[in-house]
Amino acid sequence: MFRALRRLSLARLSTGWPRLFFVVVFAILAAAGSYLAYGQPKGPLVIDLRVSGIISPASADFIIQGLKQAAKEKAAAVVIELDTPGGLDSSMRDIVREILASPVPVVTFVSPGGARAASAGTFILYASDIAAMTPASNLGAASPVRIGLFSSGSDSHKSTLGTKIENDAVAYIRSLAQFHGRDVQFAENAVRNAASISASDALKANVIDVIADNVPDLLNKIDSRQVKLASGSVVLHTADAHIQYMEPGWRSQLLALIANPQVALVLIMVGIYGLFYEIMNPGLALPGVSGLICLLLGLYAFQLLPVNWTGVALVALGVSLMIAEAFLPSFGIVGAGGVVAFILGGLFLTDTGVPGYDLSIPFLIAVALCSVAFLVLVGTMATRAHRRPVVSGREDMLGKEGVVASVGQDSVYADIQGESWRVHSTAGLATGDHVRVIALNGLTLTVERVQSGQG
């Protein structure tokens, strides 16, 4: 009876397992379908990039990576929330080129309330497919800030180079305005006369396309608008869009740290210090490796920044002369020349006019004096170390005394410094004789007999 019940249970179990398997698979597929249908964000995708502060290589890298990500994910639009006092011309032009070439519509939104898009920010706004502002924001003042370096400051006394820079900036922003059908007159005044404009006046003058309180309000207002891209005209579908906020990655954060002339110069000096210390004290490894890393990071930062390579050459000459001062009996003349060359090179190194992106005289003097102090200290220590007598190794055996331990037919051994050495002497030696090392010949020591008690 029990056997019959057991067979019946096994039969039911064997026929039930396939049914259970299909039920589980169906449940999993139903759950996955529900997630795909309801768990994923509905509506078009809009990527939001928040950029504040100076336009620099770091912010340019962040925006460019964001535009590439938007194109990869086939986003409906990219919103650049911008609040900047301006920045580097080279970084601004990199951003503008990427905006114009982007297959995804780009919306620049001067936000939040009280924000501004000055100088380089004005160019970025004019380059965008949609230009928008919050009610309490402003833009303009796009004059090349370093024109005054070549002139006395008035229009009638501008140098030829200053005029060329201004005319180039005017032509650039006019072309951007004409491409998007925006007001050309204000664009030119913003460059020539540093003109600024409020959000409401900018909308009336056809400088911007829309005023919005926030990003969702902006996306609703620009929905169904037609924009002109490099690939052709497209219609925006941004109503009820899913907004994906992007944050700067490690690359942008690293660039933000090192892409500064002051930081770059300090990195290069630390790199030179480390390599110099490693050369003077070979075998430590850590100063050489860390110095090489710092030197390469500093040179990479210089490659990103608009530096004058004459200034770089003067800085290198100054460092070389300061290093030479540690070894040459020039009574400070070579070192003083190195300090002067270093400071002049630092002054010529950058000329951006952007706060924090030019090197000041006090900073350069401080770095130069620290360099002189460090290099002289290390050079002096190394020179003293090379002049000291050897205190270890075979050379340390000269002058040491010992006792003859054994005398054979072909060899004599003596105990010197706790070790057994094969020794040779022109005079006969006997066991127990006191000897002194006077020369080295391979692993054989040449010794002389000393009288017992003789110092």
Average pLDDT, the chain: 80
What is the band of 208 on the pLDDT scale with cuts at 50, 70, 90? very high
Residue predicted with more confidence, 389 or 5: 389
pLDDT tens digit string along 56-66? 888 999 999 99
Of 305, 318, 314, 313, give the one whose Cα is nearest residue 350: 305
Measured at the alpha carbon of residue 76, what is the angle toward residues 74 and 82, in degrees to the nearest 5?
A: 110
Q: Rounded to whole angstroms, how far apart are CA atoms 231 and 223?
A: 20
Q: What angle do CA 111, 117, 123 make, to 5 degrees?
A: 125
**Superfamily of structural domain 45-251:** 2-enoyl-CoA Hydratase; Chain A, domain 1 (3.90.226.10)
418: left (phi over 0), alpha (psi -120 to 50) or beta: left
Q: CA 18, CA 443: separation in Å to the nearest integer?
A: 85
Query: How much is the average pLDDT of 74-88?
Result: 91
Q: 379: pLDDT confidence band, cut at 50, 70 and 90? A: low
125, two tokens: 């706004």
The CA-based dihedral angle spanning residues 314, 316, 321, 322, taken in that order and rounded to the nearest 10 degrees: 110
Looking at residue 36, its pLDDT comes to: 44
Q: What is the pLDDT of residue 155?
A: 47
Structure-block tokens of residue 367: 């770095």
**Res 52 pLDDT > 50:** yes
C-beta of residue 120 within 8 angstroms of C-beta of residue 84: yes
**What's the fold here for domain 394-450?**
OB fold (Dihydrolipoamide Acetyltransferase, E2P) (2.40.50)
Q: Which tokens in the block code for residue 167? A: 């005319």
| Nearest of 267, 264, 261 to residue 357 by alpha carbon | 261
Question: CA–CA distance from 196 to each of 54, 137, 173, 185, 281 (Å)?
Answer: 18, 11, 15, 12, 59
pLDDT at 29 > cutoff 90: no
Give 239-248 pLDDT, tens digit per residue: 888 999 988 8
Model confidence pLDDT, tens digit, residues 262-312: 888 888 888 888 887 787 777 778 888 888 899 899 888 888 888 888 888
pLDDT tens string 176-200: 999 988 999 999 999 888 899 999 9
pLDDT value, residue 279 = 78
Residue 99: the pLDDT is: 94
Q: What is the pLDDT of residue 40?
A: 47
Question: Confidence band (pLDDT; 50, 70, 90) for 329?
Answer: low
Task: Work out the angle at residue 80's Cα, subtended by the Cα atoms of residues 77 and 84, and round it to the nearest 5 degrees.
Answer: 165
pLDDT band at 219 (very low <50, low <70, confident <90, very high): very high
Residue 151 has pLDDT above 50, yes or no: no
Task: Render 45-71 in DSSP notation, one character per residue.
Answer: EEEEEEEES-B-HHHHHHHHHHHHHHH
Residue 34 pLDDT exceeds 80: no
Domain ranges across the chain: 1-40, 45-251, 260-387, 394-450
DSSP tag of 241: P
pLDDT above 70 as % of the chain = 79
Q: What is the pLDDT of residue 427?
A: 80
